Amino acid sequence: MKFEAVTIKDIAKALGLSTSTVSRALRDSYEISPETKKLVLEYAEKINYHPNPIALSLKERRSRSIGVIVCEIANSYFSQIINGIESIAYNNGYNVIISQSRESADREMLNLQYLTSRSVDGLIISVSTETKDFSYLKELHDRGMPIVFFDRIVDEIETHKVIVDNYKGAYDATTHLINSGYKKIATVSNAPALSIAKERLAGYKAALTDHGMEVDESLIKYCAHGGMILTEVEEAIKELLKPKNKPDAIFASADKLTTGCLRILRSKGYTVPGDFGLVGFSNTDLTELLDPPLSVIRQPAFEMGEVATNLLLQMIESKRPVTDFETKVLTTELLIRESTRKKEAKAKPIPSLLK
């Protein structure tokens, strides 16, 4: 009682034709008579024929599917990107296979092996925070697998990359905190090896110095797992809140870090934003549910997925190797959400709280 599909053979037998004639008729070949074509097409329609994509893959040595690896689909930033990827992929007849690394280098490797063994035609990937060894990816790339990196890119591999303007985003976020009256701004960052972390840190530092504030290394904390583990954020905050050098605001450089900071600060009794400033790279839709809502750096996620996919399909479908790789930089946007409260914050000097 297995699910049996209709094949080209069934049509050929039923119509007294050869399989090749049927195949050609279905592909609308010029060498088939209109009558035969009509006959075949109508019968195919009637019995609901669909070509077996597995056989096609085997024949054409391509699967018309692309692999996507992200750390976490539950993250709305990534799911928006996936939506962008899917929209372009589907329009071009490609399937999308999604897999999650959950910020683990091991799982990333497994997924990678799985996808390549499934013969995906190309790969769109945002590497996990934990990954330090890119040799497998490099080998894949050297062997001709089209790859596009996005968000968390790998500098060592020469291929297309799509990122947002991390420097500008961090700069804007920090400036917003400064303009809101906060005086001592810390940052909670991703693993320092990540390119995005570096750039965001640079933007943060630049904003401080441009506004005549000094960069204090003790106010810079790293979370190796990007906030996936809440305790690492807790640890970072705990250190920041030590009496000797307390900040009154934080720039959080990633989604999970922003929500992590928020949770911990609120659990400690702070009103955020208000007593304590917080702006971050967070696309979690729900930050707007907060009362007062949180300002965030919005990343053009959907568009990012689209751009990455267009580049990948271009690589896949070009006959000769692509050489002119480029790094597309999309622009972030500061979404100011706590406008009414911000004015208050500006009006009254921020009290030195953190008792």
Smallest distance from DNA to CB 34, Å: 7
The phi-psi region of residue 181 (left if phi > 0; otherwise alpha if psi is between -120 and 50; otherwise beta) is: left
Q: Looking at residues 56 to 85 of the shown chain, list those that interact with DNA (rule: CB under 7 A).
A: 56, 58-61
Stretch that binds DNA, among 49-57, 179-187, 282-290, 304-312 (CB under 7 A): 49-57
Per-residue x/- track, 197-226, a second copy (CB under 8 A): ------------------------------
Query: Which of DNA, a second copy, none does residue 299 bind (CB under 5 to 8 Å by kind)?
Result: none
Q: Is residue 266 near a second copy by the rule CB under 8 A? A: yes
Told to check if 252 binds DNA by CB under 7 A, we report no
- The contact mask relative to a second copy for 18-57 (x = CB under 8 A, - = no) is --------------------------------xxxxxx-x
Q: Is residue 113 at the binding interface for DNA, with CB under 7 A as the rule?
A: no
Asked if residue 166 binds a second copy (CB under 8 A), the reply is no
Shortest distance (Å) from residue 331 CB to DNA: 42
List the beta bridge partners of residue 95: 65
Cα separation, 311 vs 326, whole angstroms:
9
- Beta strand 249-252 with 95-100: parallel, antiparallel or unpaired? unpaired
For 77, the token pair is: 């930033």
Rule CB under 7 A: choose which of 38, 46, 55, 326 binds DNA.
55
Q: Could you tell me which of 275, 248, 285, 278 has the C-alpha nearest to residue 262?
A: 278
Closest listed residue to residue 147, CA positions, set 159, 139, 133 = 159
Which of 1, 2, 16, 348 is the binder for DNA (CB under 7 A)? 16
If the CB atoms of residues 3 and 30 are measured against a second copy, the closer one turns out to be 3
The contact mask relative to a second copy for 91-110 (x = CB under 8 A, - = no) is ----x-xx-x----------
Segment lying near a second copy (by CB under 8 A), choices 28-36, 127-135, 181-189, 258-266? 258-266
Q: Nearer to a second copy by C-beta: 203 or 300?
A: 300
Among 32, 44, 80, 296, binds a second copy (CB under 8 A): 80
Residue 17, interface with DNA (CB under 7 A)? yes
Q: Please tell me whether residue 62 adopts helix, strand or coil conformation.
A: coil
From first CA to last CA, the distance across the chain in angstroms is 71
Could you tell me the maximum CA-CA distance found in the chain, to the nearest angstrom? 89
Phi, psi of 146 (to 5 degrees): -65, 130
Residue 292: cis peptide before it, omega within 30 degrees of 0? yes
Q: DSSP strand E in the chain: where?
A: 65-70, 95-100, 122-125, 147-150, 160-164, 185-189, 220-222, 249-252, 277-281, 296-298, 327-330, 333-335
> What φ, ψ does residue 106 adopt, rounded to 5°?
-60, -50
Secondary structure (3-state) at 261:
helix
**Chain Cα centroid distance, residue 287:** 19
Which among 156, 154, 159 has a CA at the least distance from the CA of 127? 154
Q: Which residues bind DNA (CB under 7 A)?
A: 5, 7-9, 16-21, 23-24, 26-27, 31-36, 50-52, 55-56, 58-61
- The residues binding a second copy (CB under 8 A) are 1-5, 50-55, 57-58, 61, 63, 72-74, 76, 79-80, 82-83, 86, 95, 97-98, 100, 113-114, 116-119, 140, 143-146, 259, 262-263, 266, 271, 284, 286-291, 320-321
